[in-house]
Every structure is written in structure tokens, then in C-alpha cells.
Amino acid sequence: MRFYIHTMGCQMNEYDSVKMAGLLEQAGHEQVATPEDADATIINTCHIREKSEHKVASLVGTFAELKRRRPDYVVGITGCVAQGVGKELLAKSPVLDFAIGSTELAKVPAVVEGLRAHTLAKVLADDVDRDPQTGKRNREALHYPFIAPDILPQRSTVSAFITVIKGCDKMCTFCVVPYTRGMEVSRATDEILAEGRAHIAHGARELVLLGQNVNGFRASKTEKPDFAGLLYKVGALEGLKRLRYTTSHPRHFDEPLARAFAEIPALCPYLHLPVQSGSDAVLDAMNRSYTAGDYKTKIDLARRFAPNLAVSTDLIVGFPGETDADFAATMRLVEEVGFESAFVFKYSPRPGTPAALLESQVPEGVKAERMTALLKLCDDLQWTTVRRYEGQSVEVLVEGPARDHASRWFGRTPDNRPVIFEGAANGGAGTGATPDTVDLTGMLVDVTIVKATPHALTGAVVAGGAPVLARAA
């Protein structure tokens, strides 16, 4: 059976898709690049944006013609939308064959096989372990197992994701994650290290540790969060050149984590720490459990240990009750911290979340104005920061040939900036080496930046420079 996976949403979903592909491949099936070439399509959905279920429903609808021509074709959804409204979508859509929530991805191969063999009809897999009296889901049921560390993508990548914690206990009033992904559950340290070693053996040089609240990681249920302890262990893996993590909650960002930037050579000087708002009143209404002052203190602490730290963040404008003064506080905080980049979102109510019930919703026009002003400020800050790269030499981990530039390479700086550059292994700038002649994939090279924009840096290998790391076999 050939399968195609369409992934929506965040890096956690990308990771889950890789794991699902691994499970299906282990069961003898083949991943293909287009739905037309497949016998089954799985849409791994995300619930974080507005109208996500409508988007999923209309995407599923586009398979009607394919299913008409090939009645055995299987179409299914997994992930957060499947978890939240899978039952309703299954009832409404004649095209959809299954909906499997985020907690039960391990069931995908058996379900797809059963549907193909007509031993199963429409399948909804989100209802394990419900209390027979109340019909409510047993919270423990959300403590689903992580898929085994030996399932890796068949193609090795220079940079690999590893999920170390799933779910979220923080109950921010605007967010659906605690309802769709369940409560926080950390993965066993041994499993994480085993998966890290396996990725490195497959050619990875960078590991990115993932979690909705990655720094809430605990070595065991009874211990306090100790994500720094995990970083030291992963950072010591042989062959690892770079280590990153995302996404962190300010509540768990502490001195050991700040110190780790100075003490773990592989740990990149990059921190994504969502602040969401600069107003204490809004932060309180969001149930974020810190003030703007607390946040700035944590950034100062991080910069004490890593003076060149790049900090990025998430911001929401127009949260219910946000006044002009609250918004001005956000603008102030953004300037004071000097974020390298920011993801700005306009608040939109998510059904079932406490903030959606608040009466003080901000009018759309006001939200749009605030969004424009904040985006402009973030843009101006980004331009100021990136310009300093021009003329500088930066270390780049090469991920492969640049996609749209046949004679150039693509990689990232330690602070996660994409770089497109020309280069040769032993020559230097302008020697005409191409991806066909010298393979730099997986190597660390020094690149002189010629042009810097917020989207990418462009440059050439430092004249006379040589890669500092041989690629793994």
C-alpha cells in the first residue's frame, strides 16, 4: 500500500507525521510524494488557527473526485482537529474514512489496512478510556505512549526533531492545546538519548528538542521540571554539533537553563520564549503566570550567560479586554527586549476555551490596526538586527543544496537564520563549485555575508576556508 501524508501546523505535527510514516513503513507500506500516487492519504491536522475545522473539511472534500474514480482509496485525518471534532466531520463527510486523535497515532497502520481490506467501516479513534458513567475522557488516557525511538525517517536529515514532552498543563485561557493534546507527559530520558543517537548515526548533526512546553520536561512524574539536566545529557552525545529546543514557557525558564547556554558547547544561542503580551492585566487574564517584568528579568538572565543570544517570541493582539494602554505596554516591551523575530497573531476565539466566553471582545478593526502597528515595529527591529550581519563571517551548518538556486547551498547560522551561499570545499568564494561537484551537506562552513534581509542571509564561503566537519557516512 502506498500512502501520502499532508502535514498542517507546527513542528510537533511534522514530528508526528514522520513517526506515522515510520510506523506505516515498518508495516511494509511505502510513502509517496503525491496523493495521486497513493492508495491512502492522511491529513495530519492542526487546531491552533481560526476556522481550522472548515479548512480541514474543505481539504478532505477535494478528495471526492479521486475517491469516485478509485473507490478503495482511503482518506483519513489525524491530530488535533481529529481529536476535537473528528466525530462530527466523519458524520458529515462521505469522503472521510477515519479520524484518529493525537493520542492514538499508533493505530494508524491497522486502521488504514482494515479500511483497505474492508474489514473496517468508518473509524473514529478518540474514545478510548472514557468514563462509562459520565462519558468524559479519563485524563490518564491522554498520557499516551511515545512512539518507539527506532522509528526514524528513511531519508536522513542534517537537522532532526525529537519530541521530549507532549501536551500542556498551563491552561492559557486562549489555547486549545490542553484539550487536544492532553496534559504534559515527559518522555523517558533513555528513549530520548536513544533516538538522538539513532539520528546522529543516520547523518544528523543538529537535534531540535520539541514540546508544547519543552522546558516543563521532568525526568519522572514525581520530580520537578529539569529540562537543563536533559540538555546536558543530549548535548554530550557524540557527533552532535548543534542543539536547539522549542517552545519554552517563561515560567520554567530559570538560571540552570540560562547557564546551559554558556556551558553546553553544542547549544545554539537562540531562545524562542513566547511572551504573548506586555500588559500585566492581559497576561493575568491569559493565565500566563508571569508579569512583563518577570519576563524581562528572565531575558536579562539569559543574556548574562549568552551575550549574543537571539530571542524570538509569540505575541497576541486584541485579546479580550485589551485596552490602548495594554497594547502600548506590548509595544514598549517589544522595543525594550529587542526581539530578533516575532510571530504576531490576531486574537480569535477558540470554541471551548475560557477566553472565547469573555464579553469584552475587541472589535476586528481595532485588532487589525494594532496588528499592523506591531508588525511594523517588529519588522523595523528585524531590519536593524539583520543589517549587522553584512560583511561578517558566520558559521553555517549546511543542510543541502539551495532549493531554488542550483549552484548554491542552504544552511543555518547558530541563531537559526537561513543562509544561501556559494562555496567550494577547499577553494573559496566564487570558485564555481556546485552541489554536483562538492557535497557540503552536513558540514560546518564559515560564510561571509554579503546581503542580509529578515528572510535570509546570502553570501559566499570565506576565501580559503574549509569545512570543519566531515559528513557522516
Within a 10 A sphere around the Cβ of 325, how many other Cβ atoms? 9
Report the nearest approach of ligand SF4 to the CB of residue 168 (Å). Answer: 3
Which residues are bridge partners to 40 per DSSP? 3, 74
DSSP string, 165-206: EES-----TT--HHHHT-S-EEPPHHHHHHHHHHHHHTT--E
Size of the site for ligand SF4 (CB under 6 A): 10
Q: What whole-number distance in Å separates Cα of residue 45 and Cα of residue 60?
A: 11
Question: Could you tell me which residues come within 8 angstroms of residue 56 by beta carbon, excluding any fewer than 6 positions away?
Answer: 8, 43, 45, 77, 81, 89
Establish if 178 lies at the interface with ligand SF4 (CB under 6 A).
yes
Q: Which pairs from 188-196 meet CB under 8 Å and 24+ separation?
A: 189/219, 189/230, 189/233, 191/146, 191/148, 191/149, 192/149, 192/162, 192/164, 192/230, 192/234, 193/233, 193/234, 193/237, 194/149, 194/150, 195/149, 195/152, 195/162, 196/162, 196/234, 196/237, 196/240
Among the residue ranges 171-179, 256-264, 321-329, 454-462, the one whose residues contact ligand SF4 (CB under 6 A): 171-179
Write each residue from 221 to 260 as x if it is in contact with ligand SF4 (CB under 6 A), else as -, in one continuous string.
----------------------------x-----------
As beta bridge partners, residue 457 has: 419, 452
| 316 contacts 278 by C-beta, under 8 angstroms | no
Nearer to ligand SF4, 52 or 448 (CB): 52
| 317 scored as a contact of ligand SF4 (CB under 6 A) | no
152 vs 15, 115, 201, 218, CA distance in Å? Answer: 10, 25, 11, 24
The stretch near ligand SF4 (CB under 6 A) out of 80-88, 131-139, 146-154, 165-173 is 165-173
The window from 97-105, 166-174, 406-414, 418-426 that contacts ligand SF4 (CB under 6 A) reads 166-174
Find out whether 355 and 286 touch, Cβ atoms under 8 Å: yes
Under rule CB under 6 A, residue 22 binds ligand SF4 = no
Return d(Cα 81, Cα 92) in angstroms, integer. Answer: 14
Task: Please select the residue that binds ligand SF4; options are 19, 166, 170, 272, rule is CB under 6 A.
Answer: 170
DSSP, collapsed to helix, strand or coil, labels residue 149 as coil
- The reply on whether position 177 binds ligand SF4 by CB under 6 A is yes
**Binding flag, residue 172, ligand SF4 (CB under 6 A):** yes
Pick the piece of the chain touching ligand SF4 (CB under 6 A) from 89-97, 163-171, 198-206, 321-329.
163-171
Q: How far is the CB of 50 from ligand SF4 (least distance, A)?
A: 15
* Contact letters for ligand SF4, residues 205-224 (x by CB under 6 A): -------xx-----------
Stretch that binds ligand SF4, among 36-44, 49-57, 103-111, 173-181 (CB under 6 A): 173-181
Shortest spacing between CB 175 and ligand SF4, in angstroms: 3
Q: Which residues pair with 124 in a beta bridge?
A: 99
Does 180 bind ligand SF4 (CB under 6 A)? Our answer is no
CB of residue 453 to ligand SF4, shortest distance in Å: 30
Nearer to ligand SF4, 182 or 423 (CB): 182
In angstroms, what CA-CA distances link 140 with 47, 80, 183, 191? 22, 18, 9, 21
Nearer to ligand SF4, 351 or 430 (CB): 351
Nearest distance from C-beta of residue 170 to ligand SF4, angstroms: 4
Q: Which stretch binds ligand SF4 (CB under 6 A): 147-155, 172-180, 406-414, 428-436?
A: 172-180
Which of 8, 168, 282, 310 touches ligand SF4 by CB under 6 A?
A: 168
Residues that bind ligand SF4 (CB under 6 A): 168, 170-172, 175, 177-178, 212-213, 249
